[in-house]
Structure 1
Amino acid sequence: MRTDSFALRHIGPKETNLKAMLDTIGVDSLEQLIYETIPDDIRLKSPLNLPEALSENQYAEHIGKLAAKNKVFKTYIGLGYHQAILPAVIQRNILENPGWYTAYTPYQAEIAQGRLEALLNFQTMVSDLTGMEIANASLLDESTAAAEAMALLHAVRDRKQKKNDVNKFFVSEEVLPQTISLLQTRADFMGIELVIGNHEEFDFSEGFYGALLQYPGKYGQVYNYKDFVAKSNEAGIKVAVAADILSLVKLQAPGELGVDVVVGTTQRFGIPLGYGGPHAAYFATKEAYKRNLPGRIIGVTKDLDGNHALRMALQTREQHIKRDKATSNICTAQVLLAVMAGMYAVYHGPKGLQYIADTVHSSAVSLEKELKALGFEQLNSAYFDTIQVKANAFSVKEIAEAAEINFYYPDADTVAISLNETTTPEDINNIIAVFAQLSGKEAGRIKELAKEEAIPAEVARKTDFLTHEVFNAYHSETELMRYIKKLERRDLSLNHSMISLGSCTMKLNAASEMLPLSNPQWGNIHPFVPVEQAAGYQIVLKELEKQLAEITGFSATSLQPNSGAQGEYAGLLAIRAYHESRGEKHRNICLIPSSAHGTNPASAVMAGMKVVVTKASENGNIDVDDLREKAIKHKDNLAALMVTYPSTHGVFESAIREITQIIHDNGGQVYMDGANMNAQVGLTNPGVIGADVCHLNLHKTFAIPHGGGGPGVGPICVAQQLVPFLPGNPVIKTGGEQAIGAISSAPWGSSLVCLISYGYIKMLGSKGLQKSTEYAILNANYIKERLNEHYKTLYSGERGRAAHEMILDCRPFKAKGIEVVDIAKRLIDYGFHSPTVSFPVAGTMMIEPTESESKAELDRFCDALISIRQEIEETSSAEDENNILKNAPHTAQMLTSDTWEFPYTRKKAAFPLDYLADNKFWPSVRRVDEAFGDRNLMCTCPPIEEYMEA
């Protein structure tokens, strides 16, 4: 056994298991299985051109040397990013804990109560600080959150505005440059006219439906927006504010002014800079807009026994239900980062946050005083943490960088300096020394921070915040450690058992891939530092781009999109820009198969395209004749086809090259959704099947952990003709020669977690990547054959094989009154997270085991489903509601109660198979009441008495 082989550690089944698995499937070799699964005409003819695999120890040395190439200067650039202190108790117990980072999106609420409580804390924190009624469980970054605000306010225009097609949106020139760029990207294709200008000169005309302000402004000036908001309200113009969350500890909450939406980032609540991400954005609004609120909302409800429980509320807003009628394509959140930011607030509490904010502000005031003493003029009349100094920017930059200090330079005569939580009096003295050297005067030195305030009384905060008990109870490390552990025990993650979610690829997130994320040489790099200071990052990101281009068979990659849905959007915009460059701007028809993920049509609509749905055949494949007919019908305006491959049904469709050729013959481009790329790597690729662009889910195929519902990364890889249109950034140049606008805030998106995928590829190498794909297909087909006598597989390839996932048909059990959701909840009693439920076909389960699961774990999972199938047979009739599946999951409270009113034993309820005696997971609540939660929407931490009254 090669102990230095990462592939050995990553891939679950052992060589000694292989023959038994192949015998069960009915093939002689792994090669035969792959031949029977993937059409021969799309197989790669040669291995991937990637370096030899590194061992875990070699990779640790390699990534350490690259980290040393990054220059971690003292950075005061600001622009929405500030170095923060991550409390060690949060780093060790959440960021570095697979119990938190390997969990899945909390669609199965009964086994996600810990995460849900942590997210409710986050929502409460955001609502308190912003002064708004309702907040969601995070978005991707501040700029995309601002774009979602623009879209929400457009959707909720009043009847008169809609009738008159009022579509102007005002953006203050004080808004962050990356946000303005992203708003321009979005507005162009949404029929929104963006007007950028001075908010103090805005005329409040009837042509506007909304406005966006920055609080404080991009270079630190704090404005009093009271009159602006009042006049906007009079004119029927709804207002959004992008607010620095730490500043809201000292500044009046925007909600008190009467604004409609507040957005921002919680990065400075203990989250590493990470060269741009991932960070949890926030979005808060009025309860009246709850049906239009993008992303996920955590709400309070009750379980079957009437006990307090949590769940994701109002899910009918999501794209898989609303599809092309959705107001947003947001399909994920930044859960892990939101949990960390919420715990930062729990740990520090209101008094701790007040101390941090006061210290940051006093540091800025102290710096201003000393710079004035040196003769420098400071421009901001009111500020929180950022001052603007009149000085020769070139000269300051030269001196500052020699002292390993970064400022931001708005123009040739201005220096912006943003202080942060990590700034010490010694740091301030070092800044003063830079300006003293410039002025030729002796530097003053501060010994203690100034007591004066630079925040006028009319904009100062006067209201309490974080008054709930949770923010006032866990301020010692012992207390917080135990609170985090209590929540962790309520969640089922990959460190307990396999999570076999179809389309979501919950594979191993190896510790060796994760460890570099804790290194400050990766964590403390601001996304807008000069690129030469991020030399280690530049090597990693450029090599990862090349690796992904090689794997997909394309020419270039953009890592900027920070979710799969953002990747879809970016890819479609690149296609639109390509058509426009050829004088074919009119091409706006997007063909989408009926089986597609709901983000596909939502992304297409956001990209300004019209969706035309193509039919599926009886075997679940694309109906080629229908596709051809619609492609020919729309040939003059055909922009693109969006296709998932292998299909959402878990099948390698043999007609794929014919399908892509039909689109090309009629003037369109092919977008391949990379959700199922785990079945392609090393065996085939999007370039071979004839696609022009694809997105990849790095949080699926390339081992970034799901983090309970985020972070994700959704880079796009493109063919040569689309390379010029890869997305750019207004602060740091990225993208193609004719780059589309920004897709996310940071130039390379969520750079920090890209280290994980870089490590995954480096340690597997060409052979390991191919073997991973082969074993993903092996594991799926092994489950398929083991369950064959008990559950019908809905779709298979032409030779009867599944790809890396399969769909089990649970609809026949309705005759016994058993729904697919009952099976999902009963699986909890067996210690498993349910597979994907009712997607892409209602009443079914989509199972994807991944390559990381051992034969023993696959067998436990199959044994559980077979046992449940027997329990279904034992159910007497559809009228029998008091059965073991309808009552699932069973809690410890039920099992230990004095009364037992069920027609089956306690042992059968809790320990139906022997393996459970050794490793039992107990859900903390019974089945949650979804309808009650939507009828009684409560999305902040309520006192329990208030909840019970509701």
Structure 2
Amino acid sequence: MSQLSPLSLAQLENSGEFIERHVGPGANERQQMLETLGVQSLEQLIDETVPKSIRLQQPLAMGGPRTEAETLSYLKQVASKNQVKRSLIGLGYHETIVPTVILRNVMENPGWYTAYTPYQPEVAQGRLEALITFQQMTMDLTGMDLASASLLDEATAAAEAMALAKRVSKNKKSNLFFVDEQCFPQTIDVVKTRAEAFGFDVLVGTAEQALENDLFGILLQYPCRDGSLRDERELIAKLHERKSIVCVATDILALVVLTSPGELGADVVLGSSQRFGVPMGFGGPHAAFFGTRDQYKRSMPGRIIGVSVDSRGNSALRMAMQTREQHIRREKANSNICTAQVLLANMAAFYAVYHGPEGLKRIANRVHRLTDILARGLKKTGLPILNESYFDTLSIDLGARQAEIVSAAEKAGYNLFAGVDGVVSISLNECCSRNDVENLWAVLIGPDHGLTIDGLDGVSSAIPASLQREGSILTHEVFNRYHSETEMLRYLKRLENKDLSLTHSMIALGSCTMKLNATSEMIPVTWTEFGNIHPFAPAAQTGGYRQMITELETMLREITGFDAVCMQPNSGAQGEYAGLLAIRKYHESRGEGHRNVCLIPSSAHGTNPASAMMTSMRVVVVECDSKGNVDVDDLRAKAQDLSDSLSCLMITYPSTHGVYEEEIIEICNIIHQHGGQVYMDGANLNAQVGLSKPGVIGADVSHMNLHKTFAIPHGGGGPGMGPIGIKAHLAPFVSNHSVVKLDGPNADSGAVSAAPWGSASILPISWAYIRMLGEQGLRASTETAILNANYMAKRLGEHFPVLYSGRNGRVAHECIIDLRPLKAASGISEEDVAKRLIDFGFHAPTMSFPVAGTLMIEPTESESKAELDRFIGAMIAIRGEIAQVEAGTLDAENNMLKNAPHTLADITSESWDRPYSKQQAAYPLSWVAEGKFWPSVNRIDNVYGDRNLHCSCPTTDSYR
């Protein structure tokens, strides 16, 4: 007879909490690691590591942890307060059908959403192939020579286009950028904000007025905001005669049937790929596309995927022109973009692959056909349609009836866009049907309209002949092979199998915090109540979103110690930009607009100086001492010398060198004494949560990387979210929005992102993460991250030099191992170690940042001791191989490190002329064979890829 559990009911109810799922090491493992570190308890380790001066005096007021079931049940109730109606608002956001094969096998698949940015391309060939397909799709539809691998959203892509235009325009005397009034309002808003920071002048007017001004560039919308279609060939030609760069924001589905902007003469083409199978999600995340002429490739923002070769001469993909990355170019970077929207770009590319050119044409033609039938019915009854030409959008002058019709439409289940002067716009989409057209007739005309779909169907003349696309689209074989679900499923799986993600092993990237992205956190993202909401839907319909966002803001304020939170920035770098804008506007409000100096430690993330450049600040570098800390004497001297012009300090805490700086409070005080503000980079917030608060330490503003500390997955290089916490005096100066007015910020504070709450649909992830962990779990996560990092530093420190440590020899949540002495002695570089780790089944840690020739390692709290020991074992084995090179028992050039990674093709090849065995190459430790991950290509030649830039899809034969 079994014995009943001796635990109390309370203990039984509290067992199995989410903290046990999220935190990797169990109690026994934690004790073993503590013994290795020579401490009695976790509390002792934290006392030895975290300065007492910054420690919280009381726990976070967060409440206890919630179970996964309880959390999802509550969030479902919150989500039910959103009213899901047929959204016909348009303005760049449209309902779309996510093909279920893509929904289940990509969007909901951790093999895709837990991967990291493809800096190690040998283990990222699948998503690189998807991204180059996205580029090919963009080039085909836009008519441009070159495309990027996605930007954050359409509005910020337009701002990047303006910056590119200024860089490349031959009209160097002009400081004026013209924006067509037919552009989307949120795009105009974001462009104005960016232009003000850069010191550009912006004029908004009719396209015809552009020729009355001396411009360096112009932004046009195609189709126009009111739905009309204009053939701008003549205007563009005249603008080119005046040396203006012509940028065109466009609709990706319309381009399936419309003449490409490239054919019209555009220099830059941009837009959102959202309606290619990505949910609206209250504004994001969505991948923007961006294409330009070949001659401007060195000025393009963001990432470009290119074709190179590996060491066997086979075709291989990589991020091209990586020297444009901010971590290298810093304040000389083209932009501060550090992430993209890779997961969403992949989905859009797969949508195009699955439907193919004929399927896309069917979808586009059906949308247009329904729009045309709707228009004919309205015209027949005398309603004034303002645009004679259109693809999917009609603008109707309803005069005094506007409010009545919009209300009636809402009651019937439709959201329309109410413009100025009584105009209502209706944008049809892929989800619309014959029934929707009939319902709209009933709303606009009356139930007894007497119209029939079949009676009004016919050949459309709404697209001018000169703007009807001729010729084929998407001719590459990838768009013409995978149209059955069976074939598509296998295609997606083939790509997934080429990539290493958190489903395989830990990804110990310093500063990137690749922790568990729990399934329970991810599930709400694809709920209809969150996915199918337009960002400009009436407030009464978005109560669930607003409640969830408000609750998340409240939790983030408590965690960080700030007075307010701005949720709009949709990446960490955007958060930096938004925070610096708030600082700049604050100084201006006090009559101190001359303050423009930004002090930045030499160890800072490269996005810091790049963001400062975007707000027209002058970067002054503060040196670090031999221990990696900010040189306080140098900081004090520079703050004193620049006191009259000091705007702010940008500092990461704990430092980018992986230590808690003891003098952080004094550092903040020095800046404040000289009238400056402190911007704290939130990249390392994972080492503060529950132990300290940036708003209490002395920071005035800080961004929070929700895709790092708060568990939003990296998605192979995006999405991300970078909301900022601000103190009360800065709160009026953060971003507002021209379409959805936000409470708190000044009305004239411009937007930094297209949507009012950024990428809102992924906010439930962080909301659930915090709620399920509660105060106890959040603090335990931080403490365990510190424990794991110190355990790894201790074990690896016996074989490699650990570059920096704080008091008592402790590190924060990450550590840097120095490979420079080994390289000097053996010729083995940090890149050799990174590639050799692939043979063990691991993604390399962060390479050569923040110090060249090093690896920065962050194990996070989610990895168990067993997984840490596997990684440590791999590193120790690699150190042994380096020792053999040092001793001369392994050839200095022909060895397993220089030849790494090894592919299955290497091992199965009949010829093997290397002075080490195939066993040593592919199975260097016994456990590797248990779940061997095979890279699909050998080491890629980066130099070849940049010298022979090729950024369109290679043929299938080239992969063979």
Greater alpha carbon shift after TM alignment, 251-260 vs 732-741 = 732-741
Q: Distance in 1 between matches of 2:276 and 2:587?
A: 43
Structure 2 distance, partners of 1:442, 1:718, is 55
| Mapping for residues 710-789 of structure 1, pairs under 5 Å | 710-734=718-742, 736-738=744-746, 740-789=749-798
2:50 aligned to which of 38, 41, 49: 38
Is the contact made by 1:648 and 1:840 (CA closer than 8 Å) also made in structure 2? Answer: yes
Q: Which residue, 835, 841, 852 being the options, matches 1:842?
A: 852
Q: Structure 1 residue 868 and structure 2 residue 909: aligned?
A: no
Of residues 151, 155, 163, the one that matches 1:143 is: 155
2:251 corresponds to which of 244, 247, 264: 244
Amino acid at match of 2:921: A
Q: Which moved more, 1:407-416 or 1:830-839?
A: 407-416
Aligned position for 1:363: 370
Shift of 1:201: 2.9
**Letter in structure 2 aligned against 1:616:** C
- The correspondence for 2:834, drawn from 824, 846, 849, is 824
1:371 CA drift (Å): 1.3
Equivalent of residue 948 in structure 2, options 919, 936, 943: 936
Please tell me whether the aligned partners of residues 269 and 292 of structure 2 are also in contact (alpha carbons under 8 angstroms).
yes
* AA aligned opposite 2:841: G
- SS state at 2:445 partner: helix
| Equivalent in 279, 282, 288 of residue 275 of structure 1 | 282
Matches within 5 A, 1:143-182: 143-158=155-170, 161-162=171-172, 164=173, 166-182=174-190
Label 1:942 to 1:910 Cα distance change in 2 as closer, same or farther (>3 A).
closer
Query: What is aligned with 1:380?
Result: 387
Distance 1:735 1:100 in 2: 37
1:279 is paired with a residue whose SS is coil
In structure 1, C-alpha distance between the alignment counterparts of 2:661 and 2:295, rounded to whole Å:
45
| CA–CA distance in structure 2, aligned partners of residues 738 and 580 of structure 1 | 14
SS at 2:227 equivalent: coil
* Partner of residue 636 from structure 1, selected from 644, 668, 681: 644
Paired AA for residue 63 in structure 2: P
Q: Match of 2:116, as an amino acid?
A: Y
Q: In the TM superposition, what are the counterparts of 1:537-936 in structure 2 within 5 Å?
A: 537-734=545-742, 736-738=744-746, 740-814=749-823, 815-875=825-885, 876-877=887-888, 880-936=892-948
SS at match of 1:882: coil
Judge conservation of contact 1:347–1:475 (CA < 8 Å) in 2.
yes
Q: Distance in 2 between matches of 1:831 and 1:947?
A: 23
Rounded Cα–Cα distance in structure 2 between residues aligned with 1:453 and 1:81: 25
Q: What CA distance in whole angstroms lies between the structure 1 residues aligned with 2:488 and 2:15? A: 38
Root-mean-square deviation (Å): 1.3
Distance 2:509 2:55 in 1: 26
Q: Distance in 2 between matches of 1:244 and 1:130?
A: 10
Aligned-partner Cα distance in 1 for 2:762–2:317: 29
Could you give the per-residue CA deviations for residues 627-664 of structure 1, whole angstroms, max 9, x where no partner exists?
Answer: 00110111111110000000000000000000000000
- The superposition leaves residues 55-107 of structure 1 with CA deviations (integer Å, 9 ceiling, x where unpaired) of 00001111111111110011100000000000000000000100000000000
Distance in structure 1 (CA, Å) of the matches to 2:939 and 2:908? 17
* Aligned counterparts of 2:421 and 2:69: Cα–Cα separation in 1: 48
TM-score w.r.t. the length of structure 2 is 0.97
Report 1:144-223 matches (<5 A): 144-158=156-170, 161-162=171-172, 164=173, 166-203=174-211, 205=213, 207-223=214-230
Measured in 1, the distance between the counterparts of 2:801 and 2:437 equals 69
Task: Letter of the 1:53 partner, please give it.
Answer: P
Query: Would you say the 8 A contact 2:353–2:479 is kept in 1?
Result: yes
Q: Does the CA contact (< 8 Å) of 1:280 and 1:334 recur in 2?
A: yes
Aligned to 1:60: 72
Q: CA deviation at 1:401?
A: 1.5
Given candidates 258, 276, 281, the residue that maps to 2:265 is 258
Contact map agreement 1:4 1:56 (CA 8 A) in 2: no
| Alignment match, 1:333 | 340
Q: Secondary structure at the match of 2:619?
A: strand
Aligned counterparts of 2:586 and 2:537: Cα–Cα separation in 1: 31
1:947 is displaced (CA, Å) by: 9.9
SS of equivalent to 1:338: helix
Deviations along 1:552-571, whole A, 9 cap, x unmatched?
10001011000000000000
Structure 2 equivalent of residue 97 of structure 1: 109
Amino acid at match of 1:745: A
Question: For the residues of structure 2 that align with 1:813 and 1:42, how far apart are their CA atoms?
Answer: 37
Deviation, structure 1 residue 915: 1.1
Counterpart of 1:457 in structure 2 is 465
- Following TM superposition, by how much is the alpha carbon of 1:453 offset from its aligned partner in structure 2, in angstroms? 3.4
Report the CA distance between 1:51 and its aligned residue: 2.7
DSSP-derived class of the 1:791 partner: coil
1:509 shift after superposition:
0.2
Letter in structure 2 aligned against 1:234? E
CA distance in 1, matches of 2:259, 2:382: 32
Q: Shift in Å at residue 736 of structure 1?
A: 2.9
Cα pair 2:231 2:264 within 8 Å, conserved = no
Instruction: Give the aligned residue type for 2:260.
Output: A
8 Å CA contact retained: 1:394, 1:412: no
Q: Deviations over 1:641-689 (max 9, x none)?
A: 0000000000000000000000000000000000000000000010121
CA contact (8 A) 1:204 1:237 kept: no
Q: Give, in whole Å, the separation in 2 of the partners of 1:728 and 1:788.
A: 49
For 2:27, the equivalent position in structure 1 comes to 15
Deviation at 1:50, TM superposition (A): 1.2
For 1:338-368, what per-residue CA distance to the aligned partner results, in whole angstroms no more than 9, with x for missing partners? 0000000000000000000000000100100
In structure 1, stretches of 5+ residues that fail to align are none
2:648/2:671 contact within 8 Å kept:
yes
The percentage of aligned residue pairs carrying the same residue is 58
CA deviations 1:865-893 (Å, max 9, x no partner) are 00000010011559721011000000001
Q: Which whole-Å CA distance do the structure 2 matches of 1:749 and 1:564 have between them? A: 12
CA distance in 2, matches of 1:189, 1:435: 44
**Cα distance in 1 between the residues matched to 2:239 and 2:115:** 43
* Partner Cα separation in structure 1 for residue 166 and residue 50 of structure 2: 46
Contact 2:217 2:247 in 1 (8 A): yes
Residues 578-629 of structure 1 deviation map (CA, whole Å, 9 limit, x = unaligned):
1111111111111000110010001001012111111111111000000001
Matches within 5 A, 1:123-134: 123-134=135-146
Contact 1:241 1:254 in 2 (8 A): yes
Distance 2:36 2:958 in 1: 56
* In structure 2, distance between residues paired with 1:47 and 1:88: 44
**1:204–1:235: 8 Å Cα contact kept in structure 2?**
no
Opposite residue 417 of structure 1, the aligned amino acid is I
How far did 1:18 drift? 1.6
Once residues 516 and 367 of structure 1 are traced to their aligned partners in structure 2, the CA distance between those partners, rounded to angstroms, is: 35
Is contact 1:436-1:443 (8 Å) kept? no
- 1:232 is matched with 239
Structure 2: gaps (5+ residues): 1-11
Q: Does 1:74 align with 2:86?
A: yes
Check if 1:318 corresponds to 2:325: yes
- Conserved in 1, the CA contact under 8 Å of 2:87 and 2:415? yes
User: For 1:676, what is the secondary structure of its paired residue?
Assistant: helix
- CA drift at 1:395: 1.1
Q: Which secondary structure state, in structure 2, belongs to the residue aligned with residue 658 of structure 1?
A: helix
Instruction: Indicate the SS of the match to 2:807.
Output: coil
